Amino acid sequence: MDPIAPPPTLNVVRRKTSLAKIIAELWDSRDLVVQFMRRDITIRYAQAVMGFAWALVMPLLIVGAGLVFRVVLSTLSNSPIESAGIAGLAAKAVPWVFFSGGLTTATQSLLAHSNLIGKVYFPRESIPIASVFAQLPDLVVSLVVVLIIVPIVGVSLHLTALWGVAVLLLLVIFTIGWALVLSCANLFFRDVKYILQVALNFGVFATPVFFEPQMLGKKGAAIMLALPLSPFIQAMDVAVVRGKSLLEPLVLHSPKGPVVVWEPWMLGYAVILSTILASAGMIIFRRTSGKFAEMA
């Protein structure tokens, strides 16, 4: 008898996870990203009673809550509220509203599109990325609100406000990185979305949205500004409201003495954070995407 032949070996094809390949594949599928984005925008506003008005309400709610908080602090400290503080609150609400809104929807985006996962191949990264891009109309509306509020409270706009555009572009990349990581994490561990909501609820007090860094003194300001999201938020106040270049340090005086509220290294910090997080997010997402079908 002839010896039993060994079973044929299976050639398992592994999808390459190089960053260049992922980006090229996403670029080829950009029309799909646009379709997902349009779908998210349509569903969000068509099913809401207030519709597109929510894009105005959300930043105004943050500004209103911040004003109440500032009034309480000024009353306790017996110090007046400056017009720059009001304008800064409006400017700093813009990146926070975009980041929290984009991350909340993107984290649950894979589960929302679970009927598509496993049926046909397409770059799965396009789903959370489209969820982040779907927040761009709100971002534009928020910027318009800021441009209206800032002159009303008596603060002049300068050319340095153009820095805000660059900062917001970095923020989009930064948010996409988090969205890729958290969306696939939420697919494997369904309580991630709850942890995210708790983190966002407390994060608005940890970052310089309601509090100004100079309120906390030198050490407190240094700790707050070292948090990953703080450079994006603080840069809007420095460039848009205070009319300072992000390539120059800014020191403000407070009852606790002079406090550094901006250093040029913070701009580099934002660039590095955005690049590393988006790159790592794409690679982590792609390497785990093979298990999405069985987890969705």
Q: Which two tokens stand for residue 144?
A: 């318009």
Q: What is the reported pTM?
A: 0.87
User: In this predicted structure, what is the pLDDT of residue 167?
Assistant: 96
**For residues 197 and 104, is the Cβ–Cβ distance under 8 A?**
yes
User: In this predicted structure, what is the pLDDT of residue 291?
Assistant: 84
Instruction: Please say whether the dihedral angle defined by the alpha carbons of residues 44, 49, 53 and 55, taken in this order, is positive or negative.
Output: negative
User: In this predicted structure, what is the pLDDT of residue 14?
Assistant: 45
Q: Which H/E stretch holds residue 228?
A: none
Query: Counting beta carbons within 10 angstroms of the beta carbon of residue 212, is it exposed (0 to 12), middle (13 to 18) or buried (19 or more)?
Result: buried
Mean pLDDT by 10 residues, the chain (296 residues): 45 60 91 91 70 67 70 64 77 91 92 82 91 91 85 86 94 97 92 91 87 86 92 94 93 84 95 96 91 74
Q: Which two tokens stand for residue 85?
A: 């503080």
Whole-angstrom distance, CA of residue 131 vs CA of residue 281: 15
User: In this predicted structure, what is the pLDDT of residue 12?
Assistant: 37
Whose CA is closest to 127, among 113, 139, 145, 138? 113
Distance of CA 143 to the CA centre of its chain: 15
**For residues 236 and 91, is the Cβ–Cβ distance under 8 A?**
yes
Query: Counting beta carbons within 10 angstroms of the beta carbon of residue 103, is it exposed (0 to 12), middle (13 to 18) or buried (19 or more)?
Result: buried
Phi, psi (degrees; rounded to nearest 5) at 13: -90, 120
Question: Where are the domains positioned within the chain?
Answer: 19-295
Query: What are the Cα distances from residue 88, in Å, to 109, 193, 235, 281?
Result: 32, 30, 10, 31
Query: Counting beta carbons within 10 angstroms of the beta carbon of residue 52, is it exposed (0 to 12), middle (13 to 18) or buried (19 or more)?
Result: middle
Q: Which residue has the tokens 């794409």?
A: 282
Query: What are the Cα distances from residue 18, in Å, to 22, 24, 27, 89, 191?
Result: 6, 10, 14, 41, 30
User: In this predicted structure, what is the pLDDT of residue 121?
Assistant: 81
Most distant pair of Cα atoms in the chain: their distance: 100
Q: Which residue has the tokens 């100004």?
A: 212
